Structure 1
Amino acid sequence: MENCSKVEEFILLGLTNSPELQVPLFIIFTIIYFITLVGNLGLLFLISWDSHLHTPMNIFLSNLSLADLGYSSAITSKVLPGFHSGDKTTSYGGCAMCFATIESYLLAAMAYDHQVAVCKPLHYHTTMTSRVCAHLAIGCYVCGFLNSSTFTGNTFTLHFCHSNVIHHFFGDIPPLFVLSSSVTYINQLVVLFSVVFHSLFALFFILKSYFLIFNAILSMCSSEGHQKAFSTCATHLTAVSIFYGTAIFTYLHTITRHNTDTDKIASVFYTMVTPMLNPLVYSLRNKEVMSSFKKIVNKSKYSLDIFF
């Protein structure tokens, strides 16, 4: 290790090296990123513009959009230049990600909000106060950044001497273990513990909330109450399934049995597709958000009619 030259940056191989796929993939991921930007920024604008949307669920939803924007932008900033200009280098700092953990805790906070709304509707406004929502949101960011610091700090204590080529399209943690010239057994255990503790802890909290929700739904007498409760939870369950399903599969699979092609496909879903789908799913199924959007469209039409 004394003759080892320190690696200052890594080279990302990207999704594929096939020249004929570079342009089509560049177009596809540009469209995905554009929809992600428009959807999340639009949702943030609507929630901040319309005072009727200043509810606990929409506060968490705006923070989820913010996390999705940061997560998608951090990944896409490395992917698109590789397709367009061939620049596939990334530094140590470019490999450090924290938004995934923030999103997992935000999904848990949203599940708790659903639980209170369904199980204790009469006490909802006294339980989910603005103070409680602020503390939950801040707690999500604190846990996310603390986990990220531990996650990346543990990884970057490794030595990289033989190769700096990452068989991935962004600087994810598991592929770095393959490049390291150090013994990575302890580091892999730390990563495994981090994934299990943070991701599964948040997932356990979500499952517990939905267990209480389903118990409350079964005790309801009216079919209208059943339909309303299921409608409230359906979009959140969809987002949870996509995010946790792909993320847990990727990290647990890469630690136990590394398969770069499978890892890349799964990573595309939770790093790019999920941030794009979240605002679409939540806005299309949220009557309040759609009503606010229609108000803006009508005002814009009215303003254009006056102008012309």
Structure 2
Amino acid sequence: MSGTALMVLVLAVGTYAFRLVGPVLHGRVELPDRVRVLLSAGAVVLLVALLATGALTEGGEFAGWARPAGVAVGGVLAWRRAPFVVVVLGAAAATAVLRAVGVVGSTRPEGLSVAAGSVPPMTTSRPAHADQPEHVLATRAFYDAIAEDYAAMFRDLPAATPLDRSLLTGFAELVGPGAPVADVGCGPGRVTGCLASLGLDVHGVDLSASMLAIARRENPELRFEQGSMLALDHADGSLAGLVSWYSTIHMPPQDLPAVYAEFRRVLAPGGLLLLAFQMGDEPRRHVHPWGHPVTLDFRRMRPERVTELLEAAGFALVQRTVREPDAGRGEPTPQAFLIARAPGGPDSA
């Protein structure tokens, strides 16, 4: 085994170790995977050290092989008979081969595997929406923390609110049976389940993984996806309807135009949007609900202002309903419900 070949091996394997350790150093790999990756990288480094030093005999010879030209006794590189350019080119070629079979060159979320299924998938701590604004991440963290308590508190909704349920029923009839609908900000999936019972082909979308776990547990027959209303994972014009049931209330006013534009993007021409929110002007801050160390702002809105923003996004208002607060449920303000139609349908002006 020549010195050039040894250096190619050392550099190529070193590249592999660097690509393994890199995601750890940059915080892109969760703790369980960090441990596994660091152990793997440590084993690789140990192997390289043994090849470069421990396997050398006292006379500078490998057991059974002549001493490599590029390695002097004691592991010092001499480079006398292994020109640097040859080593670099050889390492590049070896790395290319390893890259081709999937060993190096990938920090994909699905994992670092030589053959399909040979290594368990590697999860990452950076979800698709990690580059979202801070308030979006705060909303996700808030609902991840309170998910079980929230779901228990609102377990009977919307079944216990006939007026709200009638709005969902009317929306379902307007959209039509079997129509594809997204419940954006679905939380524990109660409204999603109600819409499904009304004959819609509905799925839920939410930021919170904990909320989605509850939704899937209670509605195993329905589909739920993690995502942000600022960047929905839906094709243009793919939905006949979209429901945002008290889910835009965490968006700062300056972000609402982008949210409504995203809703319009995913709705088919003439598709319907249903919004529900608390009426008012002043924000409200929830601090440590149920004893959890999280805080989040809730924003009330005026139907007139929301209508202006919807019309600026191209929607046409179909219906506006205002319900007085339900004192028995502790509602502090009137509740507003808007149905708007995306442009381009048969009923558009």
TM range (shorter): under 0.3
Please identify which structure carries the higher helix content: 1
Please identify which structure carries the higher strand content: 2
Give the greater-gyration-radius structure (CA).
Answer: 2
Q: TM-score normalised to the size of structure 2?
A: 0.21
Q: TM-score normalised to the size of structure 1?
A: 0.23
Considering Cα pairs closer than 8 Å and 6+ residues apart, tell me whether 1 or 2 has the greater RCO. Answer: 1
